[in-house]
Amino acid sequence: MTIKGLVVHFRRDSDDHEAERTIDALVMIKGVSKVSPIAVGYEDDVNRQRVKRELRDKLLSLLDDE
């Protein structure tokens, strides 16, 4: 398999200082030519809330079945 790039997702949002350190570290990896940050938007919060709600609903349905 041959790849030309990767998409990396973080577990949580990073502040500017932490993001800059991460970008610097990624650029140091052999073969990396570009690292571009993606700003957090309202869609991210909406998606997180949706996932939390879906997980909560699944857990509650499991508990109700017993």
How many angstroms separate the first and last alpha carbons of the chain?
Answer: 47
pLDDT band for 17, please (50, 70, 90 cuts): very high
Q: Are the C-beta atoms of 32 and 26 separated by less than 8 Å?
A: yes
* Cα–Cα distances in angstroms (integers) from residue 34 to residues 3, 8, 9, 26, 57, in the given order: 15, 13, 16, 9, 40
pTM of the shown model: 0.57
Q: Is the pLDDT reported for residue 54 higher than 90? A: yes
What residue type is assigned to position 21 of the chain? R
